Amino acid sequence: MPILINSGCTNSVIDQSLIDKYCITSTPLPVPLDTAGADGQSQKVMCYVTLHINVKGKEHLMDVIIALLLLPCILLGHDWLILTNPSIDWRANKITFPTDDLEYHLKEGDKILAVDLETQIIEMMQLELNTFATKSQQIAEYSEKAKSKLTFRDIFPPVYHKFEPIFTKESFNKLPPKHS
């Protein structure tokens, strides 16, 4: 079955005739999709299929919309290019895929450094949060120290100094004298 790569095609598409020929079960789209073909004709796409697409040993499971194409083929569109990120040599008509299986040949004495980025990011965020908490705590401590250095007489004008006993901490522990 011909498979073509078309970077101008937003979604990957399979021709309706292939669905009929191979009796592939389709799934209705929740909302019909308006599309425009390469010939400029517009059509409503109503269904899609989930296919195992294998290109040069790279297999991917993809949802592919069903439409009437000019040829019985599958068009791998921009969605497939984003998913697989292939390297395409257009002059040589050659496609290669980045490998997920990088090989490292270790020699005696080599060390492997494993970095857990998720843990490091969380630790950095916590450190940053602690830094902010420390700043606000420093401000509160400074404010508290400034308050404790000031006496009643420093805060209030001299006209109120005779009322100082009323505002001391000790006076809050007892009720004022009862007047009859």
Domains of the chain: 3-96 (2.40.70.10), 111-180 (no CATH)
Q: Is the pLDDT reported for residue 175 higher than 60?
A: yes
Residue 67 pLDDT greater than 50, yes or no: yes
pTM higher than 0.85, yes or no?
no
Report which of residues 118 and 37 the model is more confident about. 37
More confident position, 177 or 129: 177
How many whole angstroms separate alpha carbon 29 and alpha carbon 34? 12
Question: Would you state the pLDDT for residue 48?
Answer: 94
pLDDT tens profile 134-174: 556 666 666 666 656 667 787 778 887 888 777 777 766 66
**Higher confidence at residue 123 or residue 7?**
7
Distances (CA, A) of 121 to 111, 118, 131: 23, 5, 15
Structure tokens at 60: 């991917």
Q: What is the pLDDT of residue 36?
A: 83
pLDDT in tens, 101-135: 444 455 566 544 444 445 555 555 555 444 444 55
Tell me, what's the pLDDT at 106?
53
Per the structure block, which two tokens stand in for 129? 């949060």
